[in-house]
Amino acid sequence: MNVAVCVKQIPSAETPLAFDPTSKTLVRTGPLVLDESDSFSVEMALRLVEQSGGGDVTLISVVPDGETQGLRTALAMGAARAVLVSDPLLSGLDALGTAKVLAAMVRRLDADLVLAGTESSDGYTGTVPVQMAELLNYPAVSFVRHVEISGDHLVTERQTEEGFEEVTCPLPAVVSVTAGVVEVRYPSFKGIMAAKSKPVEVLTVADLGLEADSLGIAGARQEVIALEQAELRPSGEIITDSGDAFETIVERLVSWNIISEHQ
């Protein structure tokens, strides 16, 4: 089976965040890394392909400045190839614009299934996978923790607040994978070396036949109105135990209505 995985490349958590004062968006000019949220769907895709005994994993990514560092990490894990769209026309792209570009990329592929993360670690609107499914007219299953293929159908476990529900749907489909649901393999030395020569196709908006004015800043329907420092959380209270600390803790729990005085 052939699986396409949406892979977002984001600024490394070690890089201090910087914002453009005019567009109020994150500055993304430095090196970008594989979003950890997407490493789980890469792992899930590799396992599905291994179980099915054929096919491969194609990574798809939309990114400014042709950055490939994050893709190389996923290629080192075992993906066969990557397709990248990078085009100055995409500057200021919002989540719907990203979904349009990803959907156009999926249309060029022969993918039985499209996997994505539930939400990215930097933008985290959590809207891209479902928008992409709508544009492709594919079923969408969100918050998925387990996937199996049964003939031409997908059987998933979809996480809920109480536990999980089983959802089945026909293929092709778009599935967004919950972070942390599979143990992600470390790329081996052999995998890292092999990733250097795996194909990364770079496309433009024109290659996809998309209208430039429905994308980028011109087509964006999302606008960041204001940017403010989040309120700092006050530091916690340290209760030194001289044998009676439990009394203070019980008092606090009662005052917060977590326990009642009569318990």
Ligand X SMILES: Cc1cc2nc3c(=O)[nH]c(=O)nc-3n(C[C@H](O)[C@H](O)[C@H](O)COP(=O)(O)OP(=O)(O)OC[C@H]3O[C@@H](n4cnc5c(N)ncnc54)[C@H](O)[C@@H]3O)c2cc1C
DSSP H or E segment with residue 104: helix 95-108
CB of 35 to ligand X, least distance (A): 6
- Contacting residue, 129, 172, 187, 219, with ligand X by CB under 6 A: 129
- Contacting residue, 44, 57, 79, 90, with ligand X by CB under 6 A: 90
Task: Give me the residue label for tokens 């600024």.
Answer: 11
93 vs 133 by CB, closer to ligand X? 93
Interface with ligand X, residue 67, by CB under 6 A: no
Interface with ligand X, residue 128, by CB under 6 A: yes
Q: Please answer whether residues 176 and 150 qualify as being in contact, where contact means their C-beta atoms are separated by less than 8 angstroms.
A: no
2 vs 120 by CB, closer to ligand X? 120
Taking residues 187 to 216 in sequence order and writing x for each that binds ligand X by CB under 6 A, - otherwise, the string is ------------------------------
- d(C-alpha 247, C-alpha 259), whole Å: 13
The one segment of 70-78, 95-103, 135-143, 244-252 that binds ligand X by CB under 6 A: 95-103
**Phi, psi (rounded to 5 degrees) for 157:** -105, 120
* 247 Cβ contact list (under 8 Å, min separation 6): none
- For Cα atoms 141, 63, 192, give the angle at the middle one, nearest 5 degrees: 85
Task: Give me the residue label for tokens 């967004």.
Answer: 176
Residue ranges that bind ligand X, judged by CB under 6 A = 6-8, 25-26, 28, 35, 37-38, 61-64, 90, 93-95, 98, 102, 116-117, 119-120, 122-129
